[in-house]
Amino acid sequence: MGYYVRAFCTSTTVPSMSEVLGWVQGHNSNISVDQSLTSIELNDSQWKQIALSYKQGKLPILVECNRDEGKEDCLMKQEVSEFLDRLGRPGISFAKRGVINHLKKTAFIIACQLPTADIDDDGYDANGCFLSYFVQHCGGMIQADGEGFYEGHKLIVKLE
């Protein structure tokens, strides 16, 4: 089982990988698409999976883009439903209400599987920079396995 960090995005437009990489590389990150493991056209916004390299000799970060395909059983809707179930009722928590509302507006999810057995601080930083693009340009909210939901660098709703 992998360790995932996700961006739940409310934008209806998925950016091309060349857009994302251009922004990320402009922010001093050495991320690139591992072409030996990925066969996508970088200018195509219909990408589904990529492998991101951040350092020579380190395993790549595996990334999936799960979209709302209009069917109730699509993976994106299943993931949103799972997280809504895990969150439960919001009670008096404004933060939890905000997360629930955000999840209900999600149009696509960027899920990054981190190779925990072979990642270093540069990898965590690269992943953070990559997902920052989706926060800033696609209405993304970050969720990390075993931690919870974030607003910026602040954990706002904890999930086990």
Q: Which two tokens stand for residue 113?
A: 């599987």
Q: Which two tokens stand for residue 121?
A: 């601080």
CA 93 to chain CA centroid, Å, is 24
Question: Helices (H), strands (E): how many in the chain?
Answer: 4, 8
pLDDT(88) > 60: yes
- pLDDT score, position 1: 53
Q: What is the mean pLDDT of residues 136-148?
A: 97
State residue 97 phi and psi, 5-degree precision.
-60, -40
Distance between CA atoms of residues 87 and 156, nearest Å: 12
* Residue range 23-42, pLDDT digits in tens: 998 887 789 888 777 777 88
Q: Report the chain's mean pLDDT, rounded to a whole number.
A: 92
Taking the domains of the chain in order of start, what are their residue ranges? 3-158
Of 2 and 79, more confident: 79
The whole model's pTM is what? 0.94
Q: What is the mean pLDDT of residues 103-126?
A: 95
